[in-house]
Amino acid sequence: MNEVLTRLQTLAAKRFGDKALTLDANADFFEALGIDSLQALDLLTDLEEAFDIEVPDYELADVTTFGGLAEVLEARL
Amino acid sequence: MELAGEALSWRHHGPALEVSLHRGPTNEIGTAMLRELEALVRYVDSGAGGARALILHSTLASGFCAGADLRELHEGIAERSERRRSQVGRISRRLPSPLRALTERGAKRVGKALVKREIGQFIDRVHSTFNALDEAPLVTIAAVHGPVFGGGFELALTADLIIAEKSARFCFPELRLGIIPGFGGIPRLERELGNALTRDLLLTGRSLGARRAAELGLVAQVVPRDGGLKSARRVAEQAARFDADTVGRAKRFLKKTPRARIAAEKKLFLEMVVEDRVADALGDFVSRTDVRPYLP
């Protein structure tokens, strides 16, 4: 879980800046990073490519934190 | 011939006619876009200045196309309903109350019939345009990136080949609004992918990334970010090496327009689009100010 979380924060930092690296796992990343749903879909594309998985976006419907996102990814690995 | 339009422009580049979509926010398909796509079809029908391929792409960073212009659709429905209400109001005020209620119910039905007719006319124009693009004698390539949603997905599906940058995501979100795609997207997706995956995409509204879309056969090539147009030009150059008549005949053999299914889709779409909950859902969508409108 920690490894997944670290990887996803690294990917998010590449797209949205270093603030993503220091964000608490339970913080709302939409709010903290100021991203919108289209940017979230860009991040989803990055994650699918990096983890070599497919994540239907309805899995992310209620996900607003990196901790929650890491759980969704874990379940697909 | 070149065109610099409000929603799209075209110019010749080598053997290709390059069509750039550039109407913000993300090339929503409304009357302006449709009018210029119709002009494009007329140019293609007239021989497209000798072009051998047609490349459809977006110059906007926000993506290829986010679908139909829902704001225009919502405002059109609301404006017609309001006009009808006010006409009926003027008449019914002079009637006794039992007759007034009947008049208002009847007017609502008439109002819906008028909206249905007007949307039906718009859909007919879209179908005529999309079918013409689908059957164009040129090799048609959609070079896409970012959101390829709803009507944008339907537009891309008319192309012979889809070249997707890694950022591309394909999605039919229409069921969230209480409607189905109405621009021929379901029959064309069935043509390309088969019914099972079409149901998955339609009934969940989920999006499909470029890489997965290529694995499934929807996308011909996945290319790096900002590489779509360059790759499409290479495809156009290669396709132009072959005899035009041979290409046209091969294409007619390979790619049939599913007209009967498109007509059936239109009928169902028009039944759905006049329902009150669609007007409500459209109103909610266009008034949303949160940051997550594109997540299910």
CA dist B187 and B183 (Å) reads 10
Catalytic-labelled residue, pool B28, B36, B154, B265: B154
Contact status of B295 with chain A (Cβ, < 8 Å) = yes
> Looking at the partner chain, which of A37, A45, A56 has a beta carbon nearest the beta carbon of B167?
A45
Q: Which residue of A has its CA nearest to B201?
A: A56
Q: Give CA–CA dist B273/B276, Å, rounded.
A: 8
The closest CB to that of A45, out of B209, B291, B296, belongs to B209
DSSP A7-55: HHHHHHHHHH-THHHH--TTSBHHHHHT--HHHHHHHHHHHHHHHT---
- B294–chain A Cβ distance below 8 A for any pair: yes
Query: B125 pLDDT exceeds 80?
Result: yes
* Beta strand spans in chain B (E): 3-4, 8-13, 16-21, 53-58, 139-144, 147-149, 161-165, 169-171, 207-209, 221-223
Task: Identify the CA nearest to B164 among candidates B64, B255, B237.
Answer: B64
**Strand pairing class (B147-149; B169-171):** parallel
List, in sequence order, every residue forming a beta bridge with B10; answer none if it has no partner: B3, B19
Residues of B in contact with A28 (CB under 8 A): none
- Assign A36 a pLDDT band (cuts: 50, 70, 90): confident
**pLDDT tens digits for range B238-283:** 999 999 999 999 999 999 999 999 999 999 999 999 999 998 988 8
In angstroms, the CA B209 to CA B193 distance is 15
DSSP assignment letter at B257: -
- Please confirm, yes or no, whether B174 is among the known catalytic residues: yes
Mean pLDDT, chain A, rounded, equals 91
Strands of B139-144's sheet in order across:
B3-4, B8-13, B16-21, B53-58, B139-144, B161-165, B221-223
Give the number of other CB atoms < 10 A from CB of residue B16.
26
Residue with tokens 């997944």: A4
Catalytic pick from B18, B36, B165, B174? B174
Give the pLDDT score at B80.
72
Query: Which one-letter amino acid corresponds to residue B204?
Result: T
B62 in contact with A, Cβ within 8 Å:
yes
d(CA B179, CA B106): 24
Nearest by Cα to B34 from B80, B69, B79, B75: B69
- The answer, for B293 touching chain A at a CB cutoff of 8 Å, is yes
* pLDDT, tens digit (0-9, with 9 covering 90-100), for B129-153: 999 999 999 999 999 999 999 999 9
Sign, CA torsion B168/B69/B289/B205 = negative
- Domain span at residue A21 reads 2-76
For chain B, give the longest Cα–Cα distance: 76
The percentage of chain B sitting over the pLDDT mark of 90, rounded to a whole number, equals 76
- First-residue to last-residue Cα distance in chain B: 42
Q: Among 3.90.850.10, 3.90.226.10, 3.90.550.10, 3.40.630.10, what is the CATH number of B3-72+119-287?
A: 3.90.226.10
Report the CATH number at residue A52.
Answer: 1.10.1200.10
**Is A57 close to B295, i.e. CB distance below 8 A?**
yes
Asked whether the beta carbons of residue A45 and residue B212 sit closer than 8 angstroms, the reply is no
Q: Which residues of A touch B293 (CB under 8 A)?
A: 37
Q: Look at residue B106 and tell me whether its pLDDT is greater than 90.
A: no
pLDDT of amino acid A72: 93
Residue B172 pLDDT level (bands cut at 50, 70, 90): very high
Between A and B, how many residue pairs show a Cβ–Cβ distance under 8 A?
Answer: 54
Q: Is the ipTM of this complex over 0.85?
A: no
Q: Is the backbone of residue B196 left (phi > 0), alpha (psi -120 to 50) or beta? A: alpha
Instruction: Give the B window 132-161 contacts with A, CB below 8 Å.
Output: 146-147
Total of domains in chain A: 1
Element (H, E) at B187: helix B185-193
Contact B212 A38 (CB under 8 A): no
Is A36 close to B291, i.e. CB distance below 8 A? yes
pLDDT digits (tens, 9 = 90+) for B20-34: 999 999 999 999 999
Confidence (pLDDT) at B108: 73
For residue B154, indicate whether it is catalytic: yes
Question: What sign does the dihedral B79-B82-B84-B86 (CA atoms) show?
Answer: negative
- Interatomic CA distance for residues B104 and B93, integer angstroms: 11
Q: Take residue B123 and report the two structure tokens written for it.
A: 């859909």
Q: Using CB atoms, which residue from A40, A49, A54 is nearest to B295?
A: A40
Q: Where exactly are the structural domains of chain B?
A: 3-72+119-287
Contact with chain B for residue A60, Cβ under 8 A: yes
Confidence of residue B159 (pLDDT cuts 50, 70, 90): very high
Q: Which residue of A has its CA nearest to B210?
A: A45
Q: What pLDDT is recorded for position A2?
A: 87
Split at pLDDT 50, 70, 90, the class of B294 is: low
**Tokens 């896409």 correspond to what residue?**
B144
